[in-house]
Amino acid sequence: MNPRASLWLKTVYARTWVRTKSIYGEPLWVAVNIGFPFFTSLALSLLYSSAGLKAGIGFAFLGGVMVSFWGNVLWSMASQFNWDKQQGLFELYVTSPAPISAILIGMSLGGILGTAPSAITLAIIGWLLFAPPANPLWPLVALTFALTLASLYAMGMALSSLYLVYGREADSVNEALHEPVSFLSGVYFPSSLAFPAVLQAIALIIPLAVGMDALQRTLFSLNSTGVTDLIPVYRDLLLLAIMGITLLLAASKALKVLEEKGRRAGTIAVRLR
């Protein structure tokens, strides 16, 4: 194997292992990853159930699953380089032969592997408690879920470069992004039923919103004859693919610029307290 390719793959594996180990090494984090989305989904499910909207229960737990990944993207992906810089680790990334892109990919894979069991547990609990009606198109569900995660974590990669520049403002940006993006993405209720067309158009630039719309359609929107209008689903899949590629290219370009700046001037490794 090409030495550079071998180094890249080894870096991805190492960073994936460290991220996964760090998540499962702290039981409290596992409990938090399950507990916070679960109680929100449970409250919404009870609300839907009391209102006679049984079809909305599955959507509530789907939102809880996706919020788990969205929180991981913001707090464990986008912010990680900034935290590493404050702890003096980013200098090691810049000066080592390990590719920065491989470190980011490893962080993404580790985040997905670390969050997936919590998300699966949440989905199973919701199914056992409420048995929401669902008519899934599993191939499209799997493809939509994969593209949504790819777009979300590509967004996290792009934000990691931005946060590296703005330093201590990263946490404030995360706080400002988390709930508004969750709200516009229709995590708590189907945005197509509640938002005017203008807000729905704005939501189309958010990967989580597009993914939620597609997952809702592929999991719950089949009619009684088993036929659904797949044109909106294919539109969402195309948007997710475009977003993922665009954000990945933007992240790669930004990281190259920052890495070069760090190697020449050393300013990118300056810690802000």
Q: Give the number of other Cβ atoms within 10 Å of residue 163's Cβ.
A: 24
* Residue 79: both structure tokens together: 């912010």
pLDDT band at residue 227 under the 50/70/90 scheme: low
Q: Is the CB of residue 114 less than 8 Å from the CB of residue 72? A: yes
Q: What is the pLDDT of residue 182?
A: 86
Q: What is the pLDDT of residues 18-43, one digit of tens each?
A: 888 877 777 777 777 777 788 888 88
Q: Are 37 and 72 in contact (CB under 8 A)?
A: no
Compute the radius of gyration of the chain from its Cα atoms.
Answer: 20
Contact 122, 41 (CB under 8 A): yes
User: What is the percentage of the chain residues whose pLDDT exceeds 70?
Assistant: 88
Instruction: Give dist(CA 226, CA 228) in Å, integer.
Output: 7
* Average pLDDT score, the chain: 83
Domain span holding position 124: 3-269
The more confident residue out of 1 and 112 is 112
pTM greater than 0.85 (yes/no): yes
Give 87-102 pLDDT, tens digit per residue.
Answer: 878 878 877 888 888 9
Confidence at residue 207, expressed as pLDDT on a 0 to 100 scale: 93
CA-CA distance, 121 to 227, in Å (whole number)?
30
- Does residue 30 contact residue 37 with C-beta atoms inside 8 Å? no
Residue 80: pLDDT band (50, 70, 90) is confident
* CB burial of residue 30 (10 Å; 0-12, 13-18, 19+): middle
Q: State the Cα angle at 156 between 155 and 162, rounded to 5°.
A: 95
**What is the per-residue burial (b if ≥16 Cβ within 10 Å, else e) of 217-231?**
bbbbbbeeeeebeee
**The most confident of 47-56, 105-114, 130-139, by mean pLDDT:** 105-114
Say if residue 270's pLDDT is above 60.
no
Measured CA to CA, the distance from residue 178 to residue 93 in angstroms comes to 28
Q: Write down the pLDDT at residue 225.
A: 45
Percent of the chain predicted with pLDDT > 90: 23
- Kindly indicate the confidence band of residue 224, based on its pLDDT and cuts at 50, 70 and 90: very low
- Output the pLDDT for position 254: 82
User: What is the C-alpha separation between 246 and 265, in angstroms, rounded?
Assistant: 28
Q: In this predicted model, what pLDDT tens digit does every residue of 192-223 receive, in sequence order?
A: 566 777 777 788 889 999 999 899 888 887 55
Region 123-142: what's the mean pLDDT? 87
Q: Render pLDDT for 145-187 as a digit per residue (tens, 0 to 9).
A: 999 999 999 999 988 877 877 666 677 788 888 888 888 888 8
Q: Structurally, how many domains does the chain consist of?
A: 1
Check: CB of residue 226 under 8 Å from CB of residue 252.
Answer: no
